[in-house]
């Protein structure tokens, strides 16, 4: 458990924090996919474990739209 008790996404003016989220949750967040929509892929993608935490900071104030684009780039870089 996070010492601050935060689980899930937190948007900030200069970044994003995600705590104890699955890869599927990060993809849904990055692409604006609702929780009840299906993501088709490998079986592990729909597994509820493992979970990951991300703490991303931007050099200045950015919009949620820009943060989502940054998260998509991060996911793409890590999936190679």
Mean pLDDT of 23-48: 82
Report the SS3 class of residue 76.
helix
Show me where the domains of the chain are located. 8-78
Average pLDDT over residues 39-59: 82
Q: What is the mean pLDDT of the chain?
A: 85
Q: Is 29 exposed, middle or buried (0-12, 13-18, 19+ CB in 10 A)?
A: buried
What pTM, to 2 d.p., does this model score? 0.81
């Amino acid at each position: 458990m996070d010492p601050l008790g935060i689980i899930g996404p937190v948007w900030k003016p200069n970044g994003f924090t995600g705590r104890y989220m699955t890869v599927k949750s990060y993809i849904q967040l990055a692409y604006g996919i609702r929780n009840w929509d299906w993501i088709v892929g490998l079986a592990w993608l729909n597994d509820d474990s493992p979970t990951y935490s991300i703490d991303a900071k931007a050099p200045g104030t950015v919009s949620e739209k820009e943060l989502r684009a940054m998260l998509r780039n991060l996911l793409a870089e890590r999936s190679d």
